[in-house]
């Protein structure tokens, strides 16, 4: 039997069903996800401790009879968009297909069901971190925010003397890290486009297991004039060998978040002051973070990699475009094509006054995945056109779109999911 969507579109010849996951199927689908990502089955102890972070809600499985062969999971949260508005977000946190059932339409069927669910529930945007970047463009996701990996060698890397030494940094006990950081993340807020909220089910698996009594990560908090305003989570990797017994450890920064530049600088100062360390490595930092400018010698801030971080999918194009702000430029009409959610297909006028559907002729034409790349301001319309992702019916409109969509700060997520 072919798997068919509710709207009658055929997904291909299949021998499986796609449906919502039930409560008693949670562990089996998590094990399936682990196998598809080449990790071990979850132990009884781990399931007892972290199973609540894998609720049945918003999970769609592909089943051969009663046996799960695929999983597409998400959780509801929110995301900051340019201009400061915060929109509902479907955060896709686990997608996998059993190895013997790949390339049979299973993934397409699950992703279509998930998108239909987002649309039916009025969620305007969806996002994910892509394990394989070539997969998700065909489902309408575009690489919307980048992250850089930085390497700071010690003791050469140090802050220059004009960086103020403000506030205080204290290290937390594992018990304090479990209770204090969720509230501090809420206090710091979603102050940059691309940052997302962290609901209750996010914390146990993504934070608690790393920083709690059984975890290996360390947490330090910065306090400024108005109280706690930043934190860093890091792990230590021992690089000593028989050949290099004095190599020293490497601090691997998992996350460093702060409410302002002073708190952020203080946390970097703290990391660079730790003894017996040969370097600090931090992945997925904002691409425009001016870390090199904080150093006495900027050459000691090495960007070793720049990679895609957040992938974004407009689910309701009209609502998403209307929610963000735009810079001053003459209007541009975008013709958006969306094969998976055809209700989005149409023309939209974007101007400093906002965005809305229109019957006017299109200046630029693009698929919905490219709109995801453009939306947060990471990529310019000109660059996307040069890459063959935008068709310019009016070439002069590219410069206008560049100005409309550009942002002062680069988008950044900062949250693993």
Indicate whether 347 pLDDT > 60.
Answer: yes
339-343: average pLDDT: 98
Indicate whether 2 pLDDT > 70.
Answer: no
Helix, strand, or coil here: 50? helix
Mean pLDDT taken over the chain = 95
Show Cβ contacts of residue 342 under 8 Å, excluding neighbours closer than 6 positions: none
170-178: average pLDDT: 98
Indicate whether 237 pLDDT > 70.
Answer: yes
Share of the chain above pLDDT 90, in %: 91
Give me the domains of the chain, ranges plus CATH numbers: 2-123 (3.40.630.30), 147-308 (3.40.630.30), 317-405 (3.30.1050.10)
Indicate whether 168 pLDDT > 80.
Answer: yes
332-338: average pLDDT: 98
221-229: average pLDDT: 97
12-20: average pLDDT: 81
pLDDT band at 298 (very low <50, low <70, confident <90, very high): very high
Please give the residue that has the higher pLDDT: either 110 or 11: 110
Residue-wise pLDDT for 355-396, tens only, equals 999 999 999 999 999 999 999 999 999 999 999 999 999 999
Beta bridge partners of 75: 91
pLDDT band at 10 (very low <50, low <70, confident <90, very high): very low
Instruction: Kindly state the tokens that stand for 124.
Output: 């305007």
Instruction: Decide if 417 is catalytic.
Output: yes
314-338: average pLDDT: 98
List the catalytic residue out of 16, 60, 141, 417.
417
Q: What is the pTM of this model?
A: 0.93
Residue 4's pLDDT is: 45
Beta bridge partners of 311: 128, 143
List the catalytic residue out of 118, 136, 284, 375.
136
Q: Where are the beta strands (DSSP E) in 138-276?
A: 142-143, 146-153, 168-171, 218-224, 227-238, 249-258
Consecutive H or E run containing 97 = strand 86-97
Give the span between the Cα atoms of 74 and 87, in whole angstroms.
16
Dihedral, 202, 206, 208, 210 alpha carbons, nearest 10 = 180
Q: Judge whether 127 and 91 are in contact, CB under 8 Å.
A: yes
Residue 14's pLDDT is: 61
Residue 241's pLDDT is: 76
Q: Tokens 């102050």 label which residue?
A: 191
Residue-wise pLDDT for 238-297, tens only, equals 987 777 777 789 999 999 999 999 999 999 999 999 999 999 999 999 999 999 999 999
Residue-wise pLDDT for 195-217, tens only, equals 999 999 999 999 999 999 999 99
Helix, strand, or coil here: 152? strand
Share of the chain above pLDDT 70, in %: 97
298-309: average pLDDT: 97
Residue 242's pLDDT is: 74
DSSP secondary structure string for all residues of 221-249: EEEETTEEEEEEEEEEEE---SS-TT--E
Residue 8's pLDDT is: 39
Indicate whether 13 pLDDT > 80.
Answer: no
Q: Judge whether 159 and 296 are in contact, CB under 8 Å.
A: yes
Helix axes 396-405, 368-375, angle to 10 degrees: 50
């Amino acid at each position: 039997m072919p798997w068919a969507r509710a709207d009658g579109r055929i997904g291909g010849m299949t021998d499986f069903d796609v449906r919502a996951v039930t409560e008693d199927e949670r562990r089996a689908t998590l094990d399936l996800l682990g196998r598809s990502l080449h990790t071990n089955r979850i132990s009884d102890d781990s399931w007892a401790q972290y199973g609540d972070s894998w609720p049945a809600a918003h999970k769609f499985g592909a089943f051969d009879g009663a046996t799960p062969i695929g999983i597409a999971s998400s959780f509801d949260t929110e995301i900051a968009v340019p201009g400061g508005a915060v929109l509902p977000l479907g955060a896709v946190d686990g997608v996998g297909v059993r190895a013997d059932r790949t390339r049979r339409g299973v993934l397409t069927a699950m992703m279509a069901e998930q998108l239909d669910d987002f649309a039916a529930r009025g969620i305007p945007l969806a996002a994910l971190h892509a394990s394989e970047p070539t997969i998700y463009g065909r489902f309408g996701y575009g690489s919307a925010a980048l992250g850089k990996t930085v390497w700071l060698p010690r003791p050469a890397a140090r802050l220059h003397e004009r960086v103020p030494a403000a506030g205080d940094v204290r290290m937390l006990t594992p018990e304090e890290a479990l209770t204090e950081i969720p509230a501090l993340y809420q206090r710091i807020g979603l102050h940059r486009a691309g940052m997302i909220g962290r609901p209750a089910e996010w914390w146990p698996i993504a934070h608690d297991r790393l920083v709690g009594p059984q975890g290996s990560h360390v947490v330090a908090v910065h306090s400024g004039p108005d109280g706690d305003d930043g934190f860093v989570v890091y792990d230590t990797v021992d690089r000593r060998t028989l050949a290099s017994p004095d190599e020293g450890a490497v601090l691997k920064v998992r996350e460093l978040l702060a409410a302002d530049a002073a708190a952020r600088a203080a946390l970097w100062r703290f990391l660079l002051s730790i003894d017996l360390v040969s370097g600090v490595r931090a992945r997925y930092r904002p691409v425009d973070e001016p870390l090199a400018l904080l150093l006495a010698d900027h050459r000691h801030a090495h960007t070793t990699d720049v990679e895609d971080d957040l992938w974004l999918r407009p689910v309701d194009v009209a609502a998403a475009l209307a929610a963000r702000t735009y810079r001053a430029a003459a209007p541009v009409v975008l013709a958006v094509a969306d094969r998976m959610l055809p209700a989005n297909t149409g023309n939209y006028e974007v101007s400093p006054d906002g965005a809305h559907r229109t019957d006017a002729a299109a200046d630029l034409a693009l698929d919905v995945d490219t709109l995801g790349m453009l939306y947060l301001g990471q990529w310019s319309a000109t660059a996307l056109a040069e890459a063959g992702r935008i068709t310019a019916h009016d070439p002069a409109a590219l410069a206008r779109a560049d100005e409309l969509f550009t942002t002062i700060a680069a988008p950044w997520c900062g949250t693993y999911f």
